[in-house]
Structure 1
C-alpha cells in the first residue's frame, strides 16, 4: 500500500487526476450502475454514457466503457415486440462514442477491444414500401455476434447479420456484413478478408477476396 502511495505522489498532475477519476468511476459503477443492469461483474467501469438501457444489458468482469457510449436495446418498434439482450463478456473495452443497438441477443466476446466511433447492430429497416418513410417500416433482425479477442478499428460499422470468429481484426472505417472465420484481417468498404492466420504454418498469410490463401 505504501509503495502504491509513493508511486501516486510521484505522478505528474495529469496522471494523478486520471487515477482519481478512475477510482471515482469504479466506485460509481460498482455501487450505482451494478443495481441497474441485468447483471454486472466485478471491476467493470462505466464512465459517462450517452444513453443506456441497462435492464437488457449483461456486463462481465473487468469491462470498461468510455464516454458517450450509446448501448440500446430495442423492445418494440412498428407494433412489433422484441426480446433483446446485449451481452458484453469479460474484459470487453468500448471506447468513446460507440453505438450498439439490438432487438435480439447480441454477444460481444471476451477481451474484445472496440475503438472509438464504432457502430454495431443486429437490426435493419425494411424499405420495400415506397409510400412509407423507411424509418416507419418494420425492423429486420439478423443474428450478429462478435467473437473473443477481436479488435474493431475506429469508425468501423458492424452491420446486422455479421458473425465474426475469434481474434478477428477489423480495419478503420470498414463496413462489415457477413460471416468471417477465426483469425481474419478484414478491411474496406464493403469489407473483405485480406489476411488470415494459417494454423498449419503458424504465420499470417494474404488471401484473395474469398478468404483463400494466395502465394505471395
Structure 2
C-alpha cells in the first residue's frame, strides 16, 4: 500500500508541473495540486514549497494585478477539498497553515446596490486584504471575508470571520469571536470571558 501511495504522489507531482507550472506566477516543483479544479487568472497566483491542495479547489487571482501576485500560498500549507479563494487584490496564506474542507476565503464581495440588475451582473467590490498567520488551523466550512487571522490561531468549524482574530487565539461562531487564547505565563490555553 505504501508503494501505491508513493506512486500516486509521483504521478500528481508530474501532473502539477506539466499542467500548472506554465500557468501560475510561481509554483514549487514539490507542490501537489489535485484535479479537477478551477483556476481564474493563474498568472496572479503564487504557490510556495511543498503545498498540498486537494481536489475541487477554485482559486481566483485578480484580473488587473499588473504583475502583482494577488493570491500567495506560502510554504508547507495543506488545503482540503472544495477550497474556494477569491483574491482580487491581496490574499496571503502563511506557512504551515492547515485548511480543512469547504473553506471560503475572499478579499471581495458581490455588489448588490442596483435592484434593477441581477447581483451577478453588478461586479465585485474590494473588502479588505486577507492574511492567515503561520501555523494556523482553519476548520471545516469556515468563511473568511476581508479579515486577518493571527499566527497559530484556530478558527472553529462553520465559523464566519468578519473581523481580525489575534495571534494564538481560538475563535468560533457566526460572526466568529475569540473564546480561548494562549497564556504564555502558564503555557496553557485559557477561556476568554
Conservation of the 8 A alpha-carbon contact between 1:198 and 1:204: yes
Q: How far is 1:74 from its partner?
A: 3.8
- Distance 1:82-1:44 versus aligned 2 partners, 3 A rule: closer
Q: How far is 1:17 from its partner?
A: 3.1
- Name the residue aligned to 1:155: 141
Q: Distance in 1 between the 2:177 and 2:18 partners?
A: 43
**Rg (Cα) greater in structure:** 1
Conservation of the 8 A alpha-carbon contact between 2:83 and 2:103: yes
Q: How far is 1:44 from its partner?
A: 0.7
1:184-213 deviation line (CA, Å, top 9, x unaligned): 1011122111001112332111113xxxxx
Q: Distance in 2 between the 1:138 and 1:25 partners?
A: 35
- Classify the secondary structure of the residue corresponding to 2:75: coil
Q: With the length of structure 1 as denominator, give the TM-score of the two structures.
A: 0.81
Q: 2:20 aligns with which of 10, 33, 36?
A: 33
- Distance 1:132-1:31 versus aligned 2 partners, 3 A rule: closer
The answer to whether structure 1 residue 132 and structure 2 residue 117 are counterparts is yes
Name whichever structure is richer in helix by fraction.
1
Q: Over aligned residues, Cα RMSD in angstroms? A: 1.7
Q: How far is 1:136 from its partner?
A: 2.2
Q: How far is 1:82 from its partner?
A: 5.5
Figure out how many residues of one structure are paired with residues of the other and give that number: 189
Q: 1:167 aligns with which of 145, 152, 175?
A: 152
Q: How far is 1:37 from its partner?
A: 1.2
The answer to whether structure 1 residue 90 and structure 2 residue 75 are counterparts is yes
Q: Distance in 2 between the 1:18 and 1:116 partners?
A: 21
Q: With the length of structure 2 as denominator, give the TM-score of the two structures.
A: 0.90
Q: 2:107 aligns with which of 122, 135, 149?
A: 122
Conservation of the 8 A alpha-carbon contact between 2:170 and 2:181: yes
- Name the residue aligned to 2:7: 20
1:44-63 matches, within 5 Å, as 44-53=31-40, 54-63=42-51
Q: How far is 1:146 from its partner?
A: 0.9
> Which structure 2 residue ranges, 5 or more long, are not aligned?
none
- Classify the secondary structure of the residue corresponding to 1:35: coil
Q: Distance in 2 between the 1:109 and 1:72 partners?
A: 17
Q: Distance in 2 between the 1:22 and 1:202 partners?
A: 38
Q: Distance in 2 between the 1:139 and 1:67 partners?
A: 26
